[in-house]
Amino acid sequence: MKTRLLSIALAFFPLGAIAQNIDPDVDFSRIEKSDFVEEMRVMNAVMWPSMMQLYVRLDPSLEELVPEFEWSEAHTEGTACVYDRLSEQGKLSQVNAMRDQAIAFLDVVETRTDITFASLATDDELIALLSPQDSFADATSDCGLAELNIQTMKESGLMDAITKLMMSDPAFGE
């Protein structure tokens, strides 16, 4: 279960400030790379606070470790790389479904305050909303975006704190 939780969270962070800022009408298969990068930046900015809230709900003491959302040149380059990979594979349209899932996930997180990082692994609806297509997950990993987000969480101390919580709580091993 520990691996499943981390996999879900890390796969989705690259999508990783409010849902109404995500444009549901953008067709990712029809936009230029620069527009793709900007739309993904917006989705990251929208998703980040909600994803971080799931950690704080798990343990309020984690709030002081939650890093602010940042978008660096490395994020821009990594997202452009994702665009190139998906474009080459003819799979840019998959991002439309992921965007729709992100909007639905934000709605669920806002209305269900019982959802925490720990409950992600046991809620099939949430798992479905946070599960990117393999091609997107592979491109995100290959292009370094997952590692950028992991590094941000490591630098703030959040990653270590979450790992310690997971190791000390038997519920995470179920």
Q: Per residue in 46-58, pLDDT tens?
A: 888 888 888 899 8
**Average pLDDT of the segment spanning 96-120:** 86
Q: Are 5 and 118 in contact (CB under 8 A)?
A: yes
**Average pLDDT of the segment spanning 126-150:** 84
Query: Cα separation of 20 and 17, whole Å?
Result: 9
For residue range 48-99, list pLDDT tens digits in order. Answer: 888 888 889 988 999 999 888 889 999 999 999 999 999 999 999 999 988 8
Q: Which amino acid is at 157?
A: G
Distances (CA, A) of 27 to 23, 45, 57, 63, 100: 9, 19, 34, 35, 11
- DSSP sequence for 62-116: GGGGPPPP---HHHHHHHHHHHHHHHHHT-TTHHHHHHHHHHHHHHHHHH-TT--
